[in-house]
Amino acid sequence: MEAQAKGSDAASTMGTEAAVYAAEASDSNDLLEQILPATISDYIDLVKAHIDAGPNYRFACRQLLLLGALLDFSDATNRKVASTFVLELLHKPFDHEVDQYGDMVVIGDGINLGGDKDWAEAVSGGCTALLFCGLCFEKARSYHCIQGRATEPSELLQSLLLPAAKHSHLEVQRIAVRCLGLFGLLEKKPSQELVKQLKVSFVKGPAPISIIACKALFDLGMRHNLQEVDRVVGHDILSQHQYYDITSSPLNFSDTDGISNIKLLDLLYAGLIKDDWDNSLASDENESVQGALGEGFAKVLLVSENYQSMPASLHPLLLSKLITLYFSNESKDLHRLKQCLSVFFEHYPSLSANHKKCISKSFITVMRSMWPGINGNAGGSAYVVSNMRKRAVQVSRFMLQIMQAPLYKNETDDGKDTGEVPEVIEEPPLECGEEGLAIRIATEVATFHTKKTTAEKSYVSALCRILVLLHFRLSEQGAIQLIRRLLIRVAESVSAEKDLVKELRQMADHLKALDRHPDQEMSQDQANLIFGRLELDFNMDFNVSVEMPQTPAPCSTKPTRRRKQVRLEEESSDEDSSPTSVVPNNLGTVSARSQRASKTAALSKMTAKTAFGIDEDDEDEEGSEVTSDEDSDGSD
């Protein structure tokens, strides 16, 4: 800047004064050329070296960035190199340090402190004001605690929080969104502008801001009720059960104007099934947008009975997605999410019978979504398909385990919390028990035709191996009779697997022993009633016997004799009865050498005819003896 000013002065003056200004400008330029790198690439390498050196070189790095304004970027190559470097800086996560308590402390607020001084001061001032507001909101016990001050809460919302949430600086946005969430928890009823801004920040913001907005929306929904949050943005309460069918037509996240009018659960569920979130700017490697959504929905499902406005059809969808997310490769490094879901699955099945029903309904959905080659799922190489099948089998066993977890009471008999393990409650109904899951699996297997692909065969086999592990209660006689009929179709579907058919037959024998009326036929109305309770549409053939088909008798270890051997033995017996037989018939020789025995039998017949003509009387006597022997055998 000094060299540029001296050059301007030299141009505007004359004589000796101009020469002095020109000499000073030349000296300044020579000094800059000695300090600055020769090329733009060298300059960028120098800045990167100071950035990588750590916080002790942060001041020097900022000064180098200021010197970048003096460089010449007229060349296209220089502009390309510089723009690439600037893009890397913009995507660089915020630097942080870990204090003595293990908490992360953000250092500064990004590269803006190395830029314009006025801008940096404005950013720092905004962050300081927001941090102070957030601290006050955390300590305040109610909305009344922040009323009656110099600045009213509504003024604070309109003048500071909402504008800061739209700030161009990401750190200011992040802190402002957090303050909006805290402010909404203090309100008796969340304001419309606050809810709309949180929705927009959740959809449009980068990963760190979307995570904070997601948590704030879940907190508002659980604090004020999901129905109340939808009401403040203008949704009619009478249409609470007419939720947007998110599974058939995903929401358009690019429509900013329509996002704020979408119901809260629909918006959050759309984010859960969205698989293209950009988590490159996430400040914490153990957090992601899907991870925050998974944690939020796990909390909602645990206390789902408190939210009657939540459609029942959404419960199995959410649970299916959480199970898939828990076993997915993407969540392998999300330790916070894994720990949260681990605790969730430990308590969820034991809290309510309706939770068991939700698990039963989501079983087939999860298996269809995870098994390769089924329901439009992609396959791959043999190694990939094998790993996908192993993971699906692991998921099926996991769901069986949580399905068989016992149910507990919410309170002990005396109504006091003694800290002991809750007592097991009465047995759940059919649709919430293992019998309902068995019928769902059996109907799923029965829907597959006899001719199946390799993927379908393995899928059906995996389902049957879970089916034989389920237990039946003696009180559920209708389910026992129905599953006995369904097992016929199931056994036909896996008839090629002998070991599995054997297990199914053992299961059928056990169910027959549990059936109090094994000879009583089940009516079509009774079956339709059970299918209706399970929300299944299945047509069953009642003309088929309820008994499992018997396997063929095992083959005898004694070798079977061939027809030729039997015929030769009969002829040999006839020849033994004749006294004129010349060539004896050896059974061992016949069985070992059939061809030679045939020739011997032919010669024996020829010899017998010749002997018959020579000694007729003797043969008549012998013939009468054979006849008498045969008659005596027949009479016996």
Residue with tokens 């109907």: 443
> Which pLDDT tens digit goes with each residue over 555-584?
444 555 555 454 555 545 444 444 443 334
Helices and strands, counts by H and E, the chain: 28, 2
Confidence at 292, pLDDT banded by 50, 70, 90: very high
Cα–Cα distance, 134 to 146 (Å, whole number):
12
Cα–Cα distance, 515 to 480 (Å, whole number):
7
Per the prediction, the chain carries an average pLDDT of 77
Cα–Cα distance, 183 to 165 (Å, whole number):
13
Domain ranges of the chain: 189-351, 353-413+421-552, 563-635
> Which pLDDT tens digit goes with each residue over 474-516?
999 999 999 998 998 899 888 888 999 999 999 999 999 998 8
pLDDT for 614 beyond 80: no
* Under 8 Å between Cβ of 445 and 439: no
* Under 8 Å between Cβ of 195 and 206: no
* Under 8 Å between Cβ of 220 and 195: yes
> For residue 623, what are the contacts with CB-CB under 8 A and spacing of at least 6?
none
Cα–Cα distance, 268 to 310 (Å, whole number):
13
pLDDT for 272 beyond 50: yes
Q: What is the pLDDT of residue 606?
A: 61
Output the CA torsion 386→389→391→393 (10° steps).
Answer: -140
**Kind and range of the H or E element at 96?**
strand 96-98
In this prediction the pTM is 0.66
Cα–Cα distance, 316 to 366 (Å, whole number):
10
> For residue 223, what are the contacts with CB-CB under 8 A and spacing of at least 6?
184, 185
Residue with tokens 């769901």: 399
Cα–Cα distance, 623 to 100 (Å, whole number):
118
- What are the beta bridge partners of residue 97? 105
Q: What is the pLDDT of residue 121?
A: 72
Q: Across residues 355-382, what is the average pLDDT? A: 91
DSSP symbol at 286: T
Tokens linked to 249: 């037509």
**Kind and range of the H or E element at 97?**
strand 96-98
> Which pLDDT tens digit goes with each residue over 162-216?
999 988 888 889 999 999 999 999 888 888 999 999 999 998 888 889 999 999 9
> Which pLDDT tens digit goes with each residue over 118-136?
666 777 777 888 888 888 8
Q: Which amino acid is at 326?
A: Y
Q: Which amino acid is at 459?
A: Y
Burial of 56 per CB tally in 10 Å (0-12, 13-18, 19+): exposed
Output the CA torsion 369→371→377→380 (10° steps).
Answer: 150
Tokens linked to 134: 């957030």
> For residue 256, what are the contacts with CB-CB under 8 A and spacing of at least 6?
200, 203, 204
DSSP symbol at 561: P
Length of the chain: 636
Cα–Cα distance, 214 to 219 (Å, whole number):
9
Report percent pLDDT > 90 for the chain: 28
**Triad 458, 460, 463: Cα angle to 5°:** 110
Q: Across residues 532-554, what is the average pLDDT? A: 70
